[in-house]
Amino acid sequence: MRDILRPLYQERTSQQNTIGVISVEKKESKAALTEGFDVILLVLVKEAETPVFVKHYVYGEEKAALYIITESQMKEWLLLGSNRKFIEWLYYGKVLFDRNEYVHEMKQEMREFPFFGRKIKMTIEFSKLIRRWTDGRDFFNNRHYLDAYNHVMHSLHHLARLAVIENGFYPEVTVWLQVKQIEPEIYKLYEELLTSDEELEKRLELLFIAIDFLIHSRTENGAAHLLSILEEKESWTFQELLNHQETSYYAVDLGVLLEYLIEKSFVAERKVKTKGQGIFHRQYQVINR
């Protein structure tokens, strides 16, 4: 099948804009990997009019999908972990063309870590973790136990990815297998959530206590990216933080993350007078520890 598809990408390899070509073939043990296609072809380019361009092909009884993906889109997916399927394709795929070993180095970074976005990726995961844990705790306190269960499950996933990053590995492929080996305590909580014979209310109560402890112990590392931004000047308004280019990756959870950091005495609020009597602007500054 790969030989048949060679004309689809071969011409592109002579173009300076093309930086790599990767092939992912269907395997019985990982049939879901290629989403029902027999072959996935990834053509990585420096620039294009659209960040992702897709074509589907058939040859006899077989199907193939061709993805043309820009470098900036690929880096965004790697940083945010927002397209797990692409990350698996990049991780498991066979390199057919590689300009200046670009793809080889990218795959090496995925296996070895840290890569270019480790610090910011930790804060992305940590902010998602705080959001899920906070919302889940509120659901639990209001006796909405099924909703609380859902949020605890997501909390554990974010905690697992955060732990994997802390240990110097890429967190998007076989996360729970990694966690079982390097952070068995988190894996045990995951098993307990799924298999415990305890009543759901009691099970959640114990898990919230355990997760709270694990979150607190990871706060300084998990929030390091935001804390480093806050240290750039004496104090920040919330809008100034939102406008910062790098916080855009976790802007949706920025408010709840700041409140958590205030609660845990990593960040302090600073009151600045307004024209209104007794009304103050609220600004944020790092507490020196």
What is 118-272's CATH superfamily?
Answer: Nucleotidyltransferases  domain 2 (1.20.120.330)
Dist CA 18 CA 23 (whole Å) = 15
Residue that is written with structure tokens 């007794």 in the block: 278
Mean local confidence (pLDDT), 167-191: 86
Domain ranges, ordered by start, for the chain: 2-110, 118-272
Please report the pLDDT score of residue 84 as a whole number.
80
Comparing 25-34, 98-107, 214-223, the range with the smallest average pLDDT is 25-34
DSSP at 265: T
pLDDT > 80? residue 3: no
pLDDT > 60? residue 115: no
**For residues 288 and 268, is the Cβ–Cβ distance under 8 A?**
no
Please report the pLDDT score of residue 60 as a whole number.
84
Please report the pLDDT score of residue 173 as a whole number.
66
Mean local confidence (pLDDT), 209-217: 94
Mean local confidence (pLDDT), 121-139: 95
Q: Which percentage of the chain shows pLDDT scores above 70?
A: 94
* Environment class of 34 (CB within 10 Å of its CB; exposed 0-12, middle 13-18, buried 19+): buried
Comparing 78-87, 159-168, 247-256, the range with the smallest average pLDDT is 78-87
Dist CA 18 CA 276 (whole Å) = 59
Is the domain 2-110 a CATH 3.30.460.10 member?
yes
Dist CA 275 CA 76 (whole Å) = 42
Please report the pLDDT score of residue 289 as a whole number.
67
**For residues 51 and 72, is the Cβ–Cβ distance under 8 A?**
yes
Describe the strand order of the beta sheet including 236-237 as a list of residue ranges: 236-237, 280-286, 267-273
Q: What is the pLDDT of residues 188-211, one digit of tens each?
A: 999 999 999 999 999 999 999 999
Task: Dump the DSSP string for 173-222.
Answer: SSHHHHHHHH-HHHHHHHHHHHH--S-HHHHHHHHHHHHHHHHHHTHHHH
Q: How confident is the model at residue 142 (pLDDT cuts 50, 70, 90)?
A: very high
Structure tokens at 119: 């610090």
Q: What is the pLDDT of residues 46-102, one digit of tens each?
A: 999 999 999 999 988 889 999 999 999 998 888 777 788 888 898 889 999 999 999
* Environment class of 274 (CB within 10 Å of its CB; exposed 0-12, middle 13-18, buried 19+): exposed
pLDDT > 80? residue 29: no
- Among the listed residues 174, 19, 35, the one whose alpha carbon sits nearest the alpha carbon of residue 111: 174
Dist CA 183 CA 218 (whole Å) = 13
**Residues 6+ away with beta carbon under 8 Å from 241:** 226, 229, 230, 247, 254, 258, 284
**For residues 137 and 267, is the Cβ–Cβ distance under 8 A?**
no
Please report the pLDDT score of residue 139 as a whole number.
96
Work out the mean pLDDT of the chain and round it to a whole number: 89
Task: Dump the DSSP string for 131-183.
Answer: HHHHHHHHHHHTT-HHHHHHHHHHHHHHHHHHHHHHTTS-SSSSHHHHHHHH-
Describe the crossing of helices 184-195 and 145-166 by its angle, rounded to 10 degrees.
160
**For residues 156 and 194, is the Cβ–Cβ distance under 8 A?**
no
Please report the pLDDT score of residue 180 as a whole number.
92
Calculate Rg over the CA atoms of the chain. Answer: 23
